[in-house]
Amino acid sequence: MPSQKIDAMQFPKFALCLRQISTYVFATIFVVILTLVSERALPSEASPVLNFAAANTTVPTQSIALQIPDRGGSFVTAAVNRVGAAVVRIDTERTISRRVDPFFDDPMFRRFFGDQMMPQMPQQERLRGQGSGFIIDRSGIILTNAHVVDQADKVTVTLKDGRTLEGKVQGVDEVTDLAVVKIQGGNDLPVASLGDSSAVQVGDWAIAVGNPLGLDNTVTLGIVSTLKRSSAAVGIPDKRLDFIQTDAAINPGNSGGPLLNQQGEVIGINTAIRAGAMGIGFAIPINKAKEISSQLARGQKVTHPYLGIQMTTLTPQLAAENNSDPNSPLQVPEVNGVLVVRVLPNTPAAEAGLRRGDAIVEIDAQPVTTAEQLQNIVENSRLGTLLKMKVQRGNQTSLLAVRTGELQKAS
């Protein structure tokens, strides 16, 4: 009896102990199962790292993309890589002759001072210049600015890979400031891709490539600030161009280099820096170069029609201000049109009877309101085209017919 009583008293403790053991076993089994599941999942998560040590490990593409950072370049890098090898440096040399002051050749001077007093000045001097250009044909045809190679006796072209080759000026057009140079012995050279400047919009990216200040292979970035900026407005009245204006840095030495869009296509030829301006440069639209580059490459002269007048845009407000000035040399019609400021002698305009102070208001029955508009009409006409003009002279309106002639010099 006593022993049975003791067993009965110990049973609750035994049951409690059994329950604790069961809980421990269940927990242990749960941990084991969880560990097995984790081990099955972890290899796929770690496989991108293991892939670098084990070449035979197959790794899902998605996992690699998540683990490896994107180290690709910008669109500027891509554009420059596409065109950069086709951009060249152009070094020029030309000889100029110096005129000695006639005073030093005076016999009286020589008599009193002798030949030893004659200044030892060189009669000739070699001038060196530098600019940029870009290859547009694998045979070595290079497009650049006319002022880069103007009157050059020697042209040296340096490629991006360091090769230096002799160049020959094939053709020059001063009016559009364009020139073509041919590399001697060039073959299978890198070529720049030409874009469409008519598709360019204000705000588009603009990438200038060239050799400014002698610093080869320089790239600057900006945007297209405006379009159709006339050469007269830029301060180059002897040219006939509507520039692409950009804030991409353009410096001396950039002239002749390409202006690229974000796809790496040439949309312009860097050509001008506005004196005194900060962060403004100008490029010739590539479509203008496309029109005449073949002619220049063949050594042919590019002809430009002209009238023979100096002109400015006229508005009623400007005319009223002029006419109210007691010191004004002449009274002008208070109309919208183009004011003739000067008529050059022996020109088509002079022969047709145009006079200073005339206001041209129509050409071929189409209204003309700006000097740039008239310039474009003339430039786009052919030599010998008869332009019928409606002219306001004082209070009189008359019709004049002007036959375009050939412009002989940019001046």
CATH of 305-406, one of 2.40.30.10, 2.30.42.10, 3.40.630.30, 2.60.120.620: 2.30.42.10
Q: Give the residue-averaged pLDDT of 314-340.
A: 94
Of 48 and 353, more confident: 353
Percent of the chain with pLDDT over 70: 75
Of 279 and 134, more confident: 134
Q: Give the residue-averaged pLDDT of 55-79.
A: 57
Assign 26 a pLDDT band (cuts: 50, 70, 90): low
Taking alpha carbons only, the member of 209, 5, 225 closest to residue 89 is: 209
The predicted structure's pLDDT at residue 79? 94
Question: What are the CA-CA distances from residue 124 to residues 104, 148, 149, 407 (Å)?
Answer: 17, 21, 19, 32
Is the pLDDT reported for residue 389 higher than 70? yes
Q: Which of 91, 132, 173, 177 is catalytic?
A: 177
Residue 300 is classified by DSSP as P
Is the pLDDT reported for residue 61 higher than 70? no
Is the pLDDT reported for residue 20 higher than 60? no
The predicted structure's pLDDT at residue 215? 87
The predicted structure's pLDDT at residue 115? 58
Is the pLDDT reported for residue 411 higher than 90? no
Q: Tell me the per-residue pLDDT of 286-304, one tens digit each, with 9 for 90 and over.
A: 999 999 999 999 999 999 9
Is residue 147 annotated as part of the catalytic site, yes or no? yes
Q: Which of 91, 132, 147, 293 is catalytic?
A: 147
The predicted structure's pLDDT at residue 53? 34
The predicted structure's pLDDT at residue 213? 85
Of 96 and 192, more confident: 192
Assign 409 a pLDDT band (cuts: 50, 70, 90): low
The predicted structure's pLDDT at residue 273? 75
Is the pLDDT reported for residue 25 higher than 60? no
Is the pLDDT reported for residue 344 higher than 60? yes
Q: Give the residue-averaged pLDDT of 248-263.
A: 93
Give 224's strand partners. 246
Is residue 105 annotated as part of the catalytic site, yes or no? no
Give 244's strand partners. 283
Identify which of 22-36, 96-110, 213-227 has the greatest average pLDDT. 213-227
CATH of 72-111+124-300, one of 2.40.30.170, 2.160.20.80, 3.60.15.10, 2.40.10.120: 2.40.10.120
Contact predicate 373/232, CB 8 Å: no
Is the pLDDT reported for residue 40 higher than 70? no
Mean predicted lDDT score pLDDT of the chain? 81
**pTM flag (> 0.85):** no
The whole-angstrom separation of Cα 199 and Cα 244 is 12
Is residue 304 annotated as part of the catalytic site, yes or no? no
Q: Give the residue-averaged pLDDT of 89-108.
A: 73
* Domain range list for the chain: 2-67, 72-111+124-300, 305-406
Q: What are phi and psi of 234, to 5 degrees?
A: -75, -20
The whole-angstrom separation of Cα 292 and Cα 174 is 12
Q: Which of 255, 293, 304, 358 is catalytic?
A: 255
Is the pLDDT reported for residue 116 higher than 90? no
The predicted structure's pLDDT at residue 305? 94
Give the range among 3-17, 223-237, 274-288, 355-369 with minimum mean pLDDT: 3-17
The predicted structure's pLDDT at residue 91? 94
Q: Give the residue-averaged pLDDT of 86-96.
A: 92
The predicted structure's pLDDT at residue 186? 74
The whole-angstrom separation of Cα 377 and Cα 365 is 13
The whole-angstrom separation of Cα 250 and Cα 260 is 13
Q: Tell me the per-residue pLDDT of 147-191, one tens digit each, with 9 for 90 and over.
A: 999 889 999 999 998 999 999 999 999 999 999 999 987 788 999
Give the range among 11-20, 185-194, 389-398 with minimum mean pLDDT: 11-20
